[in-house]
Amino acid sequence: MLLGTGPDGPITGRRVAITGIGVLACCGVGTDAFWNGLHGPAPEGERRVHDFDPDRWFTSKEVRTLDRFAQFSVAVAEMALEDAGTLDADPGRSGVIMGTGVGGLQSLETQILVYAEKGAGRVSPRLVPMMMSNAGAAAVSMRLGWHGPSETVITACAAGAHSIAHAARLVASGRCDVAVGGAAEAGMTNVGIAAFANMTALSTTGNSRPFDVRRDGFVMTEGAGALVFEDWDRAVARGTRIYGELAGAGSTADAHHITAPAPGGSGAAACMLEAMRDAGIRPDEVRHINAHGTSTPLNDLAESDAIGKVFGSDSPPVTSTKGVTGHGLGASGAIEAVAAVLTIEHASIPPTVGFEQPDPEIHLDVVGPAARSWEPGPILSNSFGFGGHNGCLVISPA
């Protein structure tokens, strides 16, 4: 078992309360539908957010000028803020941090086809603001009229976790009283899917089976998640519901390979330790791990090795919600942070759908095929991305 030492982490400072939740996923739109979906069978066919109705949030003109990922960003931010109740926040002390992996890929691909078929003169003048990765955060800040930091994190599949950590950091440091942190992805274009398929990252069977011996790649999805963070004392004073606390976060780099994880999960292990140091807890105090668990042969094994390095042979219960949701790329860490908060709220760990035949090389207490009741405690939520980006969050009960 590794023991961590080092400087204070990124969330050190004022306590950070989680007071609002917003989520869009292929298994459900909104917290109730999403939570129920995590306990059902994996969706059949492409794992798109079929229940998303942009008319609920946008005019027809706005729909034409915002890429789908930016629409998702606004939708989950507004859902989270509605859930948080009346904030009466100072716009200058309110921030937005929204992550993404590929940004407006859908708009870019559409306009490339327009260029090829109709010429340069027919390319949309709106393409640049639609394709730019910061369009989601920009759209949220403009919708809310917030003048504090409005920033975008782009760290592949770790972007959601990093965005949430950064948003919490704004509150902990005293720069903001309120911040929205999350991520959105809508990269299921023909070229995007083909690119992942041709690099043999996608499942050839269409099944997501995290930590199962039959796993053969991830299943691509789209979606978004967002959390509202407030200074703890402020949240208590206004009498709002506090779901939990963003107690710590870690960020490391494998510095190894552009797509493959570091052998033995060394970078991931260091990231988990940093998050726990930041939260001021020991490994034996972690009660549950919401794993990255992509269902790829290398990544699941590396994550298992990393967990073994940190926790020894007796790991906390582990689950991967990607068995249902699939892999949302840059949005995955935000969607899974929402799942972690709801796991505390319901005192139940959702199952790892698709986990039926354990891999003898993976020595984890994987929750499945059914949910498991538990006494809520600190949750470690892991996200690891191409480029060797690692992001880990510690989410604790209120």
Identify whether 157 is a catalytic site residue: yes
Q: At what angle do helices 190-198 and 105-118 cross, to 10 degrees?
A: 110
Angle 23-26-29 from CA coordinates, rounded to 5°? 40
- 243 dihedral zone (left: phi>0; alpha: psi -120 to 50; beta): alpha
In one letter, which amino acid is 201? A
Q: Which of 162, 166, 288, 327 is catalytic?
A: 327
Q: Report how far residue 34's alpha carbon sits from residue 11's, in angstroms, rounded to the nearest whole number.
A: 28
User: What letter would DSSP give residue 369?
Assistant: S
Identify whether 346 is a catalytic site residue: no
Considering Cα of 102, then 106, then 108, then 112, what sign does the dihedral take? positive
- 295 dihedral zone (left: phi>0; alpha: psi -120 to 50; beta): left
Contact 133, 100 (CB under 8 A): yes
Q: Report how far residue 94's alpha carbon sits from residue 112's, in angstroms, rounded to the nearest whole number.
A: 37
Q: Report how far residue 228's alpha carbon sits from residue 81's, in angstroms, rounded to the nearest whole number.
A: 7
Q: Which of 157, 176, 271, 392 is catalytic?
A: 157
Identify whether 166 is a catalytic site residue: no
Terminus-to-terminus CA distance in the chain, angstroms?
Answer: 28
β-pairing verdict for 16-25 and 223-231:
antiparallel
DSSP string, 288-344: EEE----S-HHHHHHHHHHHHHHHTT-PPEEE-THHHH-B-GGGHHHHHHHHHHHHH
| Cα dist from 129 to 6, 56, 139, 236, 283, whole Å | 41, 22, 10, 39, 44
Q: Which of 162, 288, 292, 389 is catalytic?
A: 292
Contact 292, 159 (CB under 8 A): no
Q: Which residues are tagged catalytic?
A: 157, 292, 327
